[in-house]
Amino acid sequence: MTAAADLSFADVMNDPAGEMAAAMRAGSEYLDSNSTTELLAQVGRTVHSAPAAEFPDKRWFQISYGREVNDRPNELLVGRGLFYLTEQGRLYLDCTGGHYQMTWGYDHPALRALLLDGIQRGIVWDNHSNIPSAPVKRLAERLVQTANPGADLASLQSDGDRLNTVLLGTATGTVACAAAMKIQLLHYSRLKPTEGAPVFVVLDGNYHGTDMFAQHLRGMWPGMFAGVEVVAVEPNDADLLQQTFATHGQRIAGFWAEPIMMNREAIEVSPEYLRLARKLCDETGALMAIDEIQTGFWYPEVFYTKRLGIEPDFIVLGKGLTAGLHPLSALLYRGKLDLLEQYDAISTNGNAALAAYIGLGCIELIRRNAQHIGQMGERFHEGMRALAASFPELLVEARGVGHLSGLKFRDREDALGFHRQIVEEGYWLRAHAYHEGHSTILTKFALPMDAEVAEHTLAKIGSVLQGRAWR
């Protein structure tokens, strides 16, 4: 067997001269040695302290993911906190938490220390779902406690109407959503066997993953599914929701909602609308699923559902659960809905022990920093609202809640032009303009965002809007 010392970066990265290794080392030293103030002043600039290196290109990637052969690739090299350096030494401020999943930014020191501690203690990286280790079991308990603050755990476990059951054997949010959909179908077939084809009521623009059935719920794969009906309703249209439930009644198997629709321009679904949906589900025997893959772990309450004044039948969790270390998702649901067999919904690398350990750390960091998270989210979003009011000729409104914020442009081309310019200047945020009517730029800062970063970013957005150099 190969000894550990014989396996090197140079071997696995095909970097015999050590150029890539040196560039990464220098980049990390640069990010570590500069303060937030100093880094903010240099966003968008090229850092020359990192030596040049030949990096792999993307020639083997699929076309939809940017297959290309570049002489000088310029993807991410190293990251710290809210900042990252590219392979060509360009400094960026990441305004989106990686791809919405880096809860605590890049290489958070407390989580890195916890990770190394876990490895040294012998916590395994992954293992069979039938033998979950202590961090996995503790994480399940912590999720139940978070959903039921102050509840007596002994009595809670025996109450089938409470959110007291956790499926942690799923690696991604897609699989966790699919598990909830399977339970909804199975529950419907048992409770309403003579009602006909089940109906799923979803908000138009919900995402819920890349599984074929999840995509079918958002209008993809037409004609590929029989025996089930999907009705998409406009978010926050209470009259339409009532009409839909009145029309389909007992045939409705499930209702799905993302409380902040990041795949539809950061629309906030109002608590009043979701409380109405809960009432209509109760009246028809439908099961309500709140998809918190985007919102979970980005608010002081951990679960955004806690501020809605409702208790859904399912809460789906993913993305921010493990702060980007390793994909791990969870489905939290009422005990009486524990209808699936052991392998009906599972991922090979779900129940990952080390990831669960980091998940526990992520939740504890939120608990300790809840006040700061809440205050900074409100402060940043208030600044986004002020920008919308200052540029009414360009912007319709600010959208979202807290760290999940967006600016809706009146014109799609302005949204795209703004996005191109601000990214070119070193601010990595997203644009939603690939569907008809979409014209919104989106941010989802990692939770370490502070007042200095918030005010700097708001000022930068304002200056780009004022200059309109993209026109």
Q: Is residue 83 part of a domain?
A: no
CATH number of the domain encompassing residue 195: 3.40.640.10
Separation between Cα atoms, residue 148 and residue 158, nearest integer Å: 14
Task: Give me the pLDDT at residue 406, please.
Answer: 98
Domain boundary among 345, 368, 391: 368
Of the residues 333, 351, 368, the one at which a domain ends: 368
Question: Whose structure tokens read 């993302």?
Answer: 258
HEC sequence for the chain:
CCCHHHCCHHHHCCCCCCHHHHHHHHHHHHHHHCCHHHHHHHCCCECCCCCCCCCCCCCCCCHHHCCCCCCCCCCEEEEEECEEEECCCEEEEECCHHHHCCCCCECCHHHHHHHHHHHHHCCCCCCCCCCCCHHHHHHHHHHHHHHCCCCCHHHHHCCCCCEEEEEEEECCHHHHHHHHHHHHHHHHHHHCCCCCCCEEEEECCCCCCCCHHHHHHCCCCCCCCCCCEEEEECCCCHHHHHHHHHHHHHHEEEEEECCEEHHHCCEECCHHHHHHHHHHHHHHCCEEEEECCCCCCCCCCCCHHHHCCCCCCEEEECHHHHCCCCCCEEEEEEHHHCCCCCCCCCCCCCCCHHHHHHHHHHHHHHHHCHHHHHHHHHHHHHHHHHHHHHCCCCEEEEEEECCEEEEEECCHHHHHHHHHHHHHCCEECEEECCCCCCCEEEEECCCCCCHHHHHHHHHHHHHHHHHCCCC
Q: Could you tell me if residue 41 is inside a domain?
A: no
> Given the DSSP bridges, would you call strands 395-401 and 404-409 parallel, antiparallel or unpaired?
antiparallel
275: domain range? 117-368
320 and 429, same domain (yes or no): no
Query: Looking at the domain assignment, is residue 241 inside a domain?
Result: yes
Q: Do residues 447 and 303 both lie within one domain?
A: no
CATH number at residue 443: 3.90.1150.10
Number of separate domains in the chain:
3
Domain membership of residue 323 (yes or no) is yes
Residue pointed to by tokens 């989210």: 377
User: Tell me, what's the pLDDT at 3?
Assistant: 62
Same domain, residue pair 68 and 157: no
Specify the pLDDT at position 183: 97
CA 421 to chain centroid: 25
- For residues 350 and 330, give the distance between their C-alpha atoms in angstroms, rounded to a whole number: 9
CB 65: neighbour CB atoms within 10 A? 8
Same domain, 431 and 340: no
| Residues 249, 185 share a domain | yes
Residue 269's nearest CA partner among 238, 246, 240 is: 238
Question: Which residues of the chain fall short of a pLDDT of 50?
Answer: none
Answer whether residue 2 is part of any domain: yes
Q: What is the pLDDT of residue 231?
A: 98
The whole-number pLDDT of residue 390 equals 98
Q: Is residue 61 part of a domain?
A: yes
Residues 312 and 205 reside in one and the same domain: yes
Are 349 and 425 within one domain?
Answer: no
Q: Is the same domain home to 189 and 218? A: yes
pLDDT computed for residue 435 by the predictor: 83
Clarify whether residues 446 and 457 are in a common domain.
Answer: yes
279, 246 Cβ separation under 8 angstroms: no
For helices 370-390 and 353-368, the axis angle rounded to 10 degrees is 70
Instruction: Say yes or no: 9 and 70 in one domain.
Output: yes
| Domain-located, residue 248 | yes
Q: Using one digit for the tens of pLDDT, what is the confidence trace for 170-180?
A: 999 999 999 99
- Are residues 224 and 244 located together in one domain of the fold? yes
Predicted local distance difference test score (pLDDT) of residue 392: 98
Q: Are residues 196 and 338 in the same domain?
A: yes
Q: Is there a domain that residue 95 lies in?
A: no
Domain boundary among 368, 385, 420: 368
Of the candidates 363, 290, 292, the residue with the CA atom closest to the CA atom of residue 322: 363
Can you give the pLDDT at residue 186? 96
- Looking at residue 336, what is its pLDDT? 97
Whole-number pLDDT of residue 75? 92
